Structure 1
Amino acid sequence: MNRHEERKRFPLELRLAGSPTEPKRKTKMTNQHLDPVLEEHAKVLQHEPGYTVLRRVPEPYSQFPDDGVPPDGRCIAIVDLETTGLDAEKDSIIELALMLVWVDEEGEIISHFGPLSWLEDPGLELDPRITLVTGLANHHLVGKTINDISVEGLLSRADMFVAHNAQFEIDFLERRYRILEHAPWGCSLLDIDWLMAGFDARAQGHLLMQHSWFSDAHRAGPDVWSLFWLLSQRRKGLGADPERTHLQRLLEAIEKDSVVVQANRAPFSKKDLLKARGYRWNADARFWQKELDEELVAHEQAWFYCQGLPAPTLRPISAHQRHR
């Protein structure tokens, strides 16, 4: 039975209190959590050129059928981790959070569940810098263990996975959960062209502020929720980019295959030229590379020829390989 065919009820212990009834086809994010009197003042201020108004993202809530049966549609797992360090081979996960989001054929959000989070004792003293970054101290973790059965059960329902720095999450999670091997991932940091969407940075907190929201997120659960809130924002991009949610932009990127152009025979003297063209140095393979849409590859090959560069090597890539 595949993930689309699986229509089992969610266990009662995983349902969140206060979930609304059967979801509408299209979920609308609202400002109902804001004080209506203060909101009137905020609306006045936000139209003054000397002010920028930020609103706190709401407390997490789920919109999920009361009967516990997941809706039809693609299921996306948004994931975030806190760890003891950056090296997946020697560091450990100390917090894991995820939420599930269902979308229809157009990528519109129709239901969402979570986030849920788990803590785990790494069996060693935390570096004080980790506490400063995450807000987690040693006493928060003593005796804690991630419930791998629950986590795997939720992950197995997802058709694709999303994180704001997907390579980081993949490195840690695939070592622990084999069901994630070769799964498709989207990276909201890299896969969305935030500049063409009308924004000048890629950090999650900064992007939220550019949408007039803020969050105190540091822990994995609040980070997952604030990323969901960011991706649910609907904006018109620059040029021909139509009004849509950022999640729809991300899904478009996940579904589109691309090509990695590898300048693996380029002489050292051409490094500044390649860097100016947007190529990045692959330290492991020791060559410059750039990812392009398939329709742009022929133009890029012509550019190599005009610049006197050896013909590049082309490597097709999909969401199953892109961030690994």
Structure 2
Amino acid sequence: MNNQEFIKFVAKRFGIDEYVVKTFVDMFAESLQELVAAGQIDELAEDILKNGQINPVLIRLADDEDFKYEIIAGSRRWKACLMANIRLKAILTDYDDMQAAIAQIKENDKSGISNYSKDLSCSILLKNKILSQEQLASSMGVSRSKLQSLLCFSKIPKSIINAIENPEKISARSANSIYSLSRKGDDHINALIEIAEKIKSGLASYDIEELVKNLIAGKRDLNDNDIRNDKGEVVARWRMGSLIIRAKNSSDRKKLTKLVEYFVIMKDHDLEKLATLLKESDQYKVIKRYQKPEYYNLDNKAPKHIGAFLDIEATGLSHFDDKIIELGIVKFEYTDDGQIFRLLDEFSSYQDPRKPILPYITKLTGITDDMVKDQQINQVELDNYLQDVDIIIAHNAEFDNSFFNKTFPSIAPKAWACSMIDINWREEDISSQKLEYIAYKYNFFFEGHRAIIDCLAGIHILAQELPNSNISVLKQLLDNAGQLRFKLWATNSPYESKDLLKARGYRWSNPQTDKHKAWFIELTEDKVAEEINYLRSNVYGSSAINIPVEIFDAYGRFSNNNKQLYSTTKYQDKLEWFQSLCVE
């Protein structure tokens, strides 16, 4: 599907005539696919499907009679939104070509695309004289010599690139080596093509040069069994099943002794010993597959509460348009200090959405139309199951709660908490809120995107200790979930303040669920006064400001049905206190 067909597909999907048309590089590149092939669109679509599109794309009016808009930065988000069946969020700019090029460069840096893709993009900009080399280097924050190093990908003969197939893992340094070797003649080009598979895996520049050198010299297997140290020196060699140690210093000999231990362990298939050895070194991180424990702590006779970890799989992101296809819940015992004891009974059921499940959802979850056909969640059984539950926890509770409340409106409200946002993960040096990543940081992995296993993995994380706070994950979640939340709306804020608000943690409203079209932030009560002062001084420039607010607790926080009720009735005294802050 070419880009024009892709655009028409977008327009048809969203029921519009004019939306976005092409990316900025389309004007210059013969193939957009080259630039975004390594962008892992499917992973981005998965993230958007779960968490929504956080950052809008940048667009401008297109100088083209066939189209209305042109994407400047964010083409990966555009394609991912299509895969996730979500309307694209975009900001209209008046950028000229140079400003658009600089915006695109900054977008590429943030997106973490490969050096190869950066080279393609930069080469297009230089070839079409959008930016000079000096302007390009300045925009990227690199020296001209560093830029020249990056641009060597486009100088590598096409025959080598085609043999490698996917050069995304190649470093700029390795690309320089490949380019330099290719200039030495056809025999070097042929040698590079012969080792293309090894290059594709991320082979270092030194190893590329050595392999080509040996191939040219006819020594094809001379170094296949060599073991080298960090300096590239041969410290040992396998010969006819024996390890001949040639190391000259004690450090290399010590490492080789450990290596022999590894081989003995592998021969005996003792994986636990191997894992222990690897963990003891500073070169490896060992993670294990999740195994369901019999219990987390022995009974200490303290009063117990019942928690329930809940996960929903659905046909899409919007609870207005999409339906539940699987519900999973796992109960567990816990105490006020955040200790988890036994895992209790589970509730698991499919639900027929009465419409086809998109192939992307099936790929993500493994759930097919046949699996859910004529299946129905028994609401009476579900209601009985939840009777003794004190709190429901979900990873992205806003998503799960919205589907749950719409599907089961007659079930009595429960307190909800979110393991994604009720834990200060970044303050614990855990840089992503994804469940799989948090599990990785706690040294385990699981097969995600099925309801019950996601629940069990979530409880396993709750039972761990936070690395910096040194309290249980569940304890911090309970403390945060128990606080009142104030949702502040920065209505009528100046456009130029958007970057300040975003940097401060504000998000843009959801037109399907929010009554205001504005930036908003959720805060605990102790941070409200400080935020009002910030808005007064840095955004509005006025002593008296009008800031709409919603106030809710754990029962109404994630419920679109209950938020307004809680804001206007249950916490009237807090509302009056907030309004007094705005007029001081």
Task: Please say whether Structure 1 and Structure 2 have the same fold, judged by a TM-score greater than 0.5.
Answer: yes
In structure 2, how many angstroms separate the alpha carbons of the residues matched to 1:294 and 1:124?
43
SS at match of 1:78: strand
Distance 1:46 1:180, change over 3 A: farther
1:81 aligns with 2:312: yes
Q: Does 1:208 align with 2:439?
A: yes
Call closer, same or farther: CA 1:118–1:63 in 2, change over 3 Å.
Answer: farther
Asked whether the equivalents of residues 306 and 388 of structure 2 are also in contact (C-alpha less than 8 Å), the reply is yes
Partner residue in 1 for 2:530: 299
Correspondence list, 1:52-131, <5 A: 52-59=285-292, 72-131=303-362
Q: What is residue 171 of structure 1 aligned with on the other side?
A: 402
Residue pair 2:402, 2:558 contacting (<8 A) in 1 also = no
User: Which residue identity does 1:132 align to in structure 2?
Assistant: K
SS at match of 1:115: strand
| Contact 2:485/2:551, CA 8 A, preserved across alignment | yes
Q: C-alpha deviations, 1:162-207, integer Å up to 9, x for none?
A: 1101111111111232355643211111121101123111000011
Q: Structure 2: which 5+ runs fail to align?
A: 1-268, 560-584
- The one-letter amino acid paired with 1:244 is I
Contact 1:173 1:180 in 2 (8 A): no
Q: Distance in 2 between matches of 1:52 and 1:204?
A: 18
Letter in 1 for 2:551: P
In the alignment, is the contact (CA less than 8 A) between 1:235 and 1:245 conserved in 2?
yes
Q: Distance in 2 between matches of 1:308 and 1:174?
A: 36
**Aligned residue type for 1:178:** P
- Give the Cα separation in 1 of the matches to 2:539 and 2:295: 56
CA shift in 2, pair 1:175/1:315, >3 Å: closer
Aligned residue for 1:234, secondary structure, equals coil
- Alignment CA distance shift 1:279-1:207 (3 Å): same
3-state SS of 2:427 partner: coil
Counterpart CA distance in 2 for 1:229 and 1:252 is 18
Distance 1:63 1:144, change over 3 A: farther
CA deviation digits over 1:66-96, x for unaligned, max 9? Answer: xxxxx94222111111122223233222211
Q: Deviations over 1:245-282 (max 9, x none)?
A: 21111111111113223222422232222222222122
Indicate the SS of the match to 1:192.
coil
Is the contact between residue 338 and residue 473 of structure 2 (CA under 8 Å) also seen in structure 1?
no
Say whether residues 1:46 and 2:279 are aligned partners.
yes
**Structure 2 CA distance for aligned equivalents of residues 260 and 185 of structure 1:** 17
In the alignment, structure 1 residue 279 sits paired with structure 2 residue 512: no
From 457, 473, 476, the counterpart of 1:226: 457
Deviation at 1:314, TM superposition (A): 4.2
Q: Following the alignment from structure 1 to structure 2, what is the Cα–Cα distance between the partners of residues 91 and 269? A: 36
The code of the aligned residue for 2:474 comes to L
Residue 213 of structure 1 deviates from its aligned partner by 0.5
Matches of 2:531 and 2:296, distance apart in 1: 45
Q: Distance in 2 between matches of 1:305 and 1:124?
A: 49
On the 8 A contact 1:231/1:245 being kept in 2, the answer is yes
Q: Which amino acid aligns with 1:52?
A: K
Please, which of 314, 317, 321 is the counterpart of residue 552 of structure 2?
317
The structure-2 alpha-carbon separation of the partners of 1:308 and 1:254, relative to structure 1 and needing over 3 Å to count, comes to closer
Match of 2:482 among 245, 255, 275: 255
Distance 1:289 1:232 in 2: 32
Structure with larger RCO (C-alpha < 8 A, sep 6+) = 1
Post-superposition shift, 1:108? 1.4
CA distance in 2 between partners of 1:118 and 1:255 (Å): 30
Question: Does the CA contact (< 8 Å) of 2:294 and 2:342 recur in 1?
Answer: no
Asked whether the equivalents of residues 60 and 114 of structure 1 are also in contact (C-alpha less than 8 Å), the reply is no
Question: Does 2:414 match 1:183?
Answer: yes
Larger Rg: 2
Instruction: Count the aligned residue pairs.
Output: 280
Query: Secondary structure of 1:131's match?
Result: helix
Give, in whole Å, the separation in 2 of the partners of 1:281 and 1:42: 46
**Unaligned 5+ residue runs, structure 1?**
1-35, 66-70
Which residue of the partner structure matches residue 16 of structure 1?
none
Distance 1:236 1:249 in 2: 12
TM-score normalised by the chain length of structure 2? 0.45
If each structure's strand is expressed as a fraction of its own residues, which one has the higher value? 1
What corresponds to 2:20 in structure 1? none
Q: Match of 2:487, SS?
A: strand
Deviation at 1:63, TM superposition (A): 8.1
AA paired with 2:396? Answer: N
> Do 2:338 and 2:474's aligned partners in 1 also have CA atoms closer than 8 Å?
yes
CA deviations on 1:112-162 (whole Å, 9 max, x unpaired) are 213331123334432211210111122222343323222111122212211
**Corresponding residue SS for 1:199:** coil
